[in-house]
Amino acid sequence: MNLIYPLNVKNNFVFNSSPRDFTVEEIPLYEFTGEGEHLVLKVRKKEMTTWEMLDAISNHVGIRRRDMGYAGLKDKHAMTIQYISVMAIHEEKLKAFSHEKIKILETFRHNNKIRVGHLKGNRFSIRLKKVLGVQKDKLDSVLKWIKANGVPNYFGNQRFGTDGNNWEDGKKLIEGKLKIRDRKTKEFLMGSYQSYLFNGWLSKRMELNHLLEKFSEAETEQVMGLPEGSLKGTKDQPNFFKLLEGDVMMHYPYGRLFNVEDLEEEAKRFATKDIAPAGLLPGKKTKHAQSTAGLIEVPFAEEVNLQGARRYAWIQVTEIKKNYIEEKAHYELSFALPKGCYATNVLDVLRGESV
């Protein structure tokens, strides 16, 4: 298997984040029971945020937005299909609901209110345009690599606001240079800074992976400023993303955290997709990396007054399907990702952009 990260394969295609070319559908965490005092709505929306959609439905029913349940926030610039819940006593009122940007596709009875995070993942459908000649073959090749190896799990641009600088205000809040009273706004901005630090750490680890493709372990240690011998056993691992002594791992696609002690053994388990490395969202009560992995993590482990967490650094892309329409030069692609992961990570690898 060729594990060379496909950055040298530059693909020129056009992608528009619009309802015509981009669809996101939630994959529920569980089947709905068909009975109970809650009503689950399968809703399709376009050109509006999840908040705007919830407001439109709650205003029609005559309830507060906070009385509704939802599993996650979905992109405004896409056709999105998601699940929300209301009390079943509002079922008759909902039969009269009509909105040009919202359609209720199905309803289900269920025992519980839908909570944030109650989804297994999301299924994405994307149309790439102006895919001409050899570009189609290049996309096929990179997609094959993605299916076998996965992609890095960066936070997407939408996490950082329209101008991409929400994290700067989050940093100022943490340093005491900015005062904001609203608790939710403060937590959102500090969370953006957590995401910025995670992306910085992941970029550093990706740099190490690329160096190990081209140079020896000793040469890479020198470039990265790591102690002599600290990368022993990394270059020959069967994965593009190289594990380090002391890395924090998680069972995949969910499970407990543990530190790497037997590097060779854990690298084999990572290759079989049984486990995956987990990067740091700095904060309180967080498990930290140790040894060599800890040395790389330290600059990104700042004190943040939020609950800390670990997030998968490397994710698998599943249910991949593709269709090439030659006469239109369209490359249609669909795939599934775990919850909280961004389709832009797949698109970046398809483009061959350096990450």
- Annotated active-site positions, please? 75
CB atoms within 10 A of CB 311: 18
- The candidate with the shortest Cα–Cα distance to 340, out of 208, 191, 240, 172, is 191
Kindly give, in sequence order, each residue whose CB lies less than 8 Å from that of residue 50, ignoring residues fewer than 6 positions away: 70, 72, 73, 74, 80, 82
Half-sphere exposure of 55 (CA within 13 A, CB side): 5
Please tell me whether residue 277 adopts helix, strand or coil conformation: strand
Please tell me whether residue 187 adopts helix, strand or coil conformation: helix
CA dist., res. 227 & res. 229, Å (int): 6
Cβ-count burial of 246 within 10 angstroms (0-12 exposed, 13-18 middle, 19+ buried)? buried
Residue 71 CA: distances (Å) to CA of 34, 64, 81, 199, 235: 18, 17, 11, 24, 40
Q: What are phi and psi of 318, to 5 degrees?
A: -120, 175
Where are any strands of DSSP class E within 146-239?
151-152
Residue 250 CA: distances (Å) to CA of 101, 144, 288, 322, 355: 40, 25, 13, 30, 23
